[in-house]
Amino acid sequence: MTRQALIGDIGGTNARFALVSPGKTAPHDILTLPCADYPGVVEAARDYLERVGASGEKAPREACLAFACPVHAERVSMSNNHWSFLKGEVKRDLALDDFKVINDFMAQALGVPHVDSHDLVSIQTGEAEGHAARLVIGPGTGLGMAGLFPARRAWVPLPNEGGHASFAPTDEQELEIYRRLHRRYGRVSVERILCGQGLLDLYRVLAEIDGLEASASTPAQVTEAANRGDPLGRDTILRFLKILGDVAGDAALTLGARGGVYLCGGIVPRLIDWLPHSGFLSAFCNKGRMRPYNEAISIQVVTAPWTGLLGAAEALHNEEVE
């Protein structure tokens, strides 16, 4: 009997589980379960395995689960729901021989090399070098960022907290944005702007600056307003993408991302039609004497729906991932 492995990509609202065959990365039997329906990850995993007929004698003996929260300690506590667990207890309760827990954005990064070409949209062709670092960056609930390096035997993930770097305004409007956010929050990180809540805050700040009424009350409503032709919504989306270009360009220089930059997460794929009309690419390349360096970097948007699951599957037997 070929025993499948359990993989998962778990956020604040939903837990996405799948099985993967030995030596493969393509997930199958994918199900999304609401976290609120279960006391914890063990109960959710057991229910998933029952639903797909992989319980009892067929139950997996190894698993890799990615969580949208810090995972370095023995106890993992979700930031946006009630789940909290000890890694050793989950391994015991699910009768696993091997159990890996990784951060959700590390899973995104590890999944990128396994994404099909038709799930990549090119923003800048560039000249991707094979044996060079790759940058994976994407705004969602926060601003995720990770590096990835092709070692001789495995992909080496380079997790970081680059989303918490300081926001550096580059023009007068951004200086005013910074001042208003600083009065409200104190320190202004790039994640303060480049995330779902940040998109809404940016919308409200631009409304204050221009003396306009801010009618949108959610990030989705900001995008909807922009798509309807609302000037404030449009300006918000364009400014958001321009700042993302600044930050991604700086991160590419810091990492030396000659292997390419990959934009993922929950927001950018939804704004993909806006990218050509925004200042993203200009800001990415506007690095003074280093302009030619960034102009040569390949940039792609990842539109694949299961990148985190691909990364969890990669992590299972990747000796660089503990």
Residues 6+ apart with CB under 8 A from 289: none
Q: Report the candidate in 135, 114, 138 with the shortest Cα–Cα distance to residue 126.
A: 135
**How many C-beta atoms lie closer than 10 Å to residue 16's C-beta?**
21
**How many C-beta atoms lie closer than 10 Å to residue 28's C-beta?**
12
Exposure of 127 in the CB half-sphere (CA atoms within 13 A): 4
The two tokens of residue 60 are: 């997996």
Contact present, 61 and 3 (Cβ < 8 Å): yes
Q: How far apart are CA 203 and CA 215, in angstroms?
A: 10
Cα–Cα distances in angstroms (integers) from residue 212 to residues 185, 221, 230, 236, in the given order: 22, 16, 12, 13
10 marked as part of a ligand binding site: yes
Q: Which long-range contacts (CB under 8 A, 24 or more apart) does 199-202 make?
A: 199/139, 199/223, 199/236, 199/237, 199/240, 199/267, 202/177, 202/236, 202/239, 202/240
Residue type, 202: L
8 marked as part of a ligand binding site: yes
259 marked as part of a ligand binding site: no
13 marked as part of a ligand binding site: yes
158 conformational bin, left if phi > 0, alpha if psi -120 to 50, beta if neither? beta
DSSP for 230-293, please give it: -HHHHHHHHHHHHHHHHHHHHHHHHHT-TT-EEE-SSSGGGGTTTGGGSSHHHHHH--GGGHHH
The two tokens of residue 229 are: 């032709």
Which residues are part of a known binding site?
8-13
Where is the binding site for ATP, in residues? 8-13
